[in-house]
Chains A and B, each alone.
Chain A
Amino acid sequence: MAVTDKNILTRLYVVAGFLFLFAAAVLFKLVSIQLIDGEKYQKLALKRTERMFTIEPNRGDLISDDGSLLATSVSRYTIRFDAVTVSDRNFKENIKPLSEALSKLLGKSSSHYQQLLRKAKTNKNRYALVARNLDYSEYMAVKDFPLFNKGPYKGGLIVDQKTVREHPLGKIAERSVGYERVDENGYYTRVGLEGAFGEYLRGVEGKRLKQKIANGQWKPIGLDNIVEPKDGYDVISTIDINIQDIAHHGLLAQLEKYKADHGCVIVMETKTGEVKAISNLGRTPEGKYYERLNYAIGESHEPGSTFKLMSMVAALEDKVIDTSTVFDTEKGTWRIYKNTVRDSKHGGYGKITAAKAFEVSSNTAFAKMIHNNYKDNPERFVNRLMSMGLHKELGLPVKGEGKPVIRYPGDKGWSGISLAWMSHGYEVSLTPLQTLTFYNAIANDGEMVKPRLIKEVKELNTTIQKFSKEVMNPAICSKETAVQMKALLKNVVEQPWGTGHRLYSPNFSMAGKTGTAQKNYVSKDPDKLQYISTFAGYFPADEPKYSCIVVIHEPDRNVGFYGADVSGPVFKSIAQKIYATSPLVDEVDMRDTKDKATERSYQKYYAEAQKKYNKVPNVKGMSGMDAISILENLGLEVEVRGNGSVKRQSISQGTDLKQVKKIVLELS
């Protein structure tokens, strides 16, 4: 086989040609990937490597009228331990001190933590739970513990942070503060103030485009967020935590005393409609009470005698009666179409004026008053009630307001006795807040102010929006009527015959109306008969500052059920605590006379201390404390013998400081 230059060359061309073809194929494939599949892979690239992240904004604080936090977002930390990343040596060296430190901070025994950590190490657990729900300061402490201070890789510390909503007031006003939850479909469950003002509190989610890098990490693309997150605004509510506290505990005490099913209290500022306190307590099967439902706003029920105010205002406005019109209470019962209206006082009140009928809360007088005057034209009465807005919801931002019911003649359920029954608060239905709003309007001489839970929306210290008084109806009645009714409401408490007289106190004034409504009266079973005890009113009687309503449902009948007995005391205690215990002003003289000797010695010390030394100063005669201070500031070690002022110094004045380390002072 003769190999010549020539045939090598021929074969070489074959091989080189093959390599060129190979190269051409590579380039062809390269271009085809870009042209044909390019779009597909570019999309895939975005899908695999880029993602839009949302940045949760910080939810705003819910703040009370007086600046206390009602709800705020705080960080909570869960500490876990990666036992695999920690070297055996580090683990052995640190497990004891770490366990002891954990035990000291978190309370469980040191051996508990040792066991936990050792078990994690044996099982190669990379996510062992050490502690849950630590607050920030605890978290900072844990971070500095032995082993954990080596960080996530050497120390195996894993920290999961989450933001939770805290209620510094705890269970007080929990329901009114409420919450807001959002499910995966973006549907919000809104409760209480949190829900009502969610739009302000929530803030705006930020958006950040991130790119995947190695180790499953994501790095942000670009300098800016696509959408900047915007923290939620702070909402300042009208709730005053002091009043809230008084209301809460007053209600709780009474509910416990009467073993009632549930109850609520609302305190409202008369002039502005600001709700200062709103407390709702319901009973658990165990007999404990907690903020269960928002009864004050949500529960519409037959108000009973508190409605007599509305009836009387209507009658006075329509001028069908005046306060001195006399009604015969007929021994306490009045038959109307086979039904009987009864007074709570057996035997009735005889012949009484309309004013006294209100003060003693006579059902028969009111039934007659309304029935007799409106029976030919019942629409007139209902129209009057409606003109006062009693059939409309208040339109609160808080979800779940109960619907008021005022029947119109001809409506389903309307009958010949409807007028008589409506007159004292049956066949109508109102929520406690709606009733209170009406009482508040009377206290305001007829101006009906909308109850309000929000005062201001703020971003840090900047006001975003201010909410002020909202008038629903400038005059639900004439001023004369309002003034007349205010006098009657005052008499309910002040006059010895008034149903609320038991609440009377000479120290402070209050006005209001009791109400004791029957519940479940439709069933003939007397055991099922329950009561709703109410007291609605305002204080002080002459210049109303706060309006308040207390409603207690289903008190134990064996203990009592009258509005004045059950609800009245809560009202009284609130009024008393807000007004009767106004703070005392004690003046104490400030004693600011200076002791001359002290002053002199201080001046001497100050003069010495201000001088710059490079030589040992003379401290003889100075007080020991001052001398030590000066010498130590010069960097000397000072030894002291005895008490008092300096008698002798071991190194004399004028020695160069550089040569001196320690000085001994003798005091006497």
Chain B
Amino acid sequence: MRTVFENIKGDKAIWAVVALLALFSFLPVYSASSNLEYVVGTGTTMGHLVKHAMLLILGFGIIYGVHRIPTHFFKGLSLIALPIVLVLLGFTLAQGTTNEGANASRWIQLPLVGIKFQTSNLASVVLMVYVARYLTKIKDKTITFSESILPLWLPVFLVVILILPANLSTAAIIFSMVLMLCFLGGYPIKYLLGIVGSGILCLTLFVLLAKAVPDIFPNRVDTWMSRIENFRNPADTEADYQIEKAKIAIATGGIVGKGAGKSIQKNFLPESYSDFIYAIIIEEYGLIGGFTLMFFYLLLLFRIVVVANGNQTIFGKLLVLGVGLPIVFQALINMAVAVELFPVTGQTLPLISRGGTSSWMTCLAIGIILSASVKEEVKKKSRSKIDDTNPLEVLSGQL
């Protein structure tokens, strides 16, 4: 145990923020558990807490393990992982688990442990690392658009296309995060605009196709349309019902909130423990709770910027931003949905929501960030030596 603590490296502030968020996450899970128990009727309230604790402990194991990996290893790892991820995504989409009749093939069942795994989360992290690697590789070159199609945009589009039918919002977020990373990495802006344009074109085509031949992707497109329609023009529908409940939760929370577990709206808000958790947190802990949570995410953002700044390599910088900013962005999206600044999406609140495996992928990203923050210490000793002996580095160089 002592060695474990001695081996904790990297940015201590990030460790602290992550640990605090993880601890805080027990409160909404505790609150939601009674309702889960009552409505779904499986397990016990204590069971939900224990399960959450187990997931978090494993998550911290992931952080610890990943942050010990030298940063440049990720270049090669992303190359190996990308094809695997594509296969997994394809498999997920093909199996088509239905969610209330809508095609929500987002999960695959992990064998043996019986946990559902959302492949898009893993894909997101892997893809960001891959893109960071590519941008680092071309940092000193002037490239043409056509040169970047095969190594950059093909994998990006493959990932996005495979996620899109089942989970538009995640696909859109991954796509916009890739664009953001390209922007940060100095990829020519004129090309980026072209990509955005073609991306919109693709989406339009997809929607039209789905409308014309509704059997291919049943119901999902209708869900998006109605959600967006609702955001623009609120009417008395399901999404509107959710938003109204979320607003009631926020309004009745007041400054200090109703107290732990005393939320009333959790009974009526579907996904009160994930999609609308921010509203429930404000209902129970008031503006104080809401602002504090936001403060921690912004602190995380600040530390990510600091780590990126401190890292000496271009890859390190882009890697940290590539996996770190999506965490903050997703958190903001989740909060924006709760306050009706954004249409209803299925995004969870990273590290807080009782999301199960999605929190592991957040942990993976955190681990990568921490690894990058470690690097400067390690680098002084034996950078060149590691570079030479890393076979993955060689593989990365070849591509």
Contacts and interface: CB of A to CB of B under 8 A. Distances in A.
B250 A34 contact: yes
Nearest to A22: B332
B318 interface: yes
A33 B186 contact: no
A274 B76 CA distance: 106
B92 to A, nearest CB: 29
B251 A33 contact: yes
B143 interface: yes
Contacts of A23: 294, 297-298, 332
A37 interface: yes
Nearest to A35: B251
Interface stretch (B8-16, B61-69, B163-171, B321-329): B321-329
Nearest to B321: A12
Interface in A1-54: 1-3, 5, 7-9, 11-12, 15-16, 19-20, 22-23, 25-27, 29-31, 33-34, 37-42, 44-45, 48-49
B45 interface: no
A22 B188 CA distance: 25
Contact of A34 (B139, B251, B268, B294): B251
A26 B336 contact: yes
B226 interface: no
Contact of B339 (A5, A29, A40, A41): A29
A42 B38 CA distance: 25
Interface stretch (B198-206, B301-309, B368-376): B301-309
Contacts of A31: 287
B115 interface: no
B135 interface: yes
A460 interface: no
B267 A213 contact: yes
A215 interface: yes
Contacts of B39: 214-215
Interface stretch (B120-128, B177-185, B359-367): B177-185
B287 A30 contact: yes
Interface string B321-351: 1000100110010011001110000000000
B38 A214 contact: yes
A614 B253 CA distance: 72
Interface in B246-275: 247-248, 250-254, 264-265, 267-268
- Judged by DSSP, the binding face of B is helix
Contact of B301 (A1, A16, A45): A16
Interface residues of B, number: 53
Contacts of B184: 8, 11-12, 15
B332 A2 contact: no
Nearest to B340: A29
A15 B180 contact: yes
B264 A49 contact: yes
Interface string B21-44: 000000000000001001100000
Interface in A364-413: none
A230 interface: no
Interface in B149-198: 180, 183-188
A5 B320 CA distance: 14
Contacts of A3: 135, 139-140, 185-186, 314
B141 interface: yes
Contacts of B252: 41-42, 45
Interface string A639-660: 0000000000000000000000
B355 interface: no
A29 to B, nearest CB: 4
Given A5-B317, A12-B184, A19 B139 contact: no
B107 to A, nearest CB: 24
Contacts of A29: 336, 339-341
Contacts of B340: 29, 33
B186 to A, nearest CB: 4
B250 A33 contact: yes
Interface of A: 1-3, 5, 7-9, 11-12, 15-16, 19-20, 22-23, 25-27, 29-31, 33-34, 37-42, 44-45, 48-49, 211-215
Interface of B: 35, 38-39, 135, 138-143, 180, 183-188, 244, 247-248, 250-254, 264-265, 267-268, 282, 287, 290-291, 294, 297-298, 301, 305, 308-309, 314, 317-318, 321, 325, 328-329, 332, 335-336, 339-341
5 contacts: A1-B139, A12-B309, A27-B291, A27-B294, A29-B340
Given A44-B248, A45-B248, 19 more contacts: A1-B143, A3-B135, A3-B314, A12-B184, A12-B321, A15-B184, A16-B305, A20-B301, A25-B341, A26-B294, A26-B341, A29-B340, A30-B250, A30-B287, A30-B290, A30-B339, A34-B287, A213-B267, A214-B38
Question: Which 3 pairs show the lowest CB-CB distances between chains A and B?
Answer: A41-B251, A3-B139, A3-B186
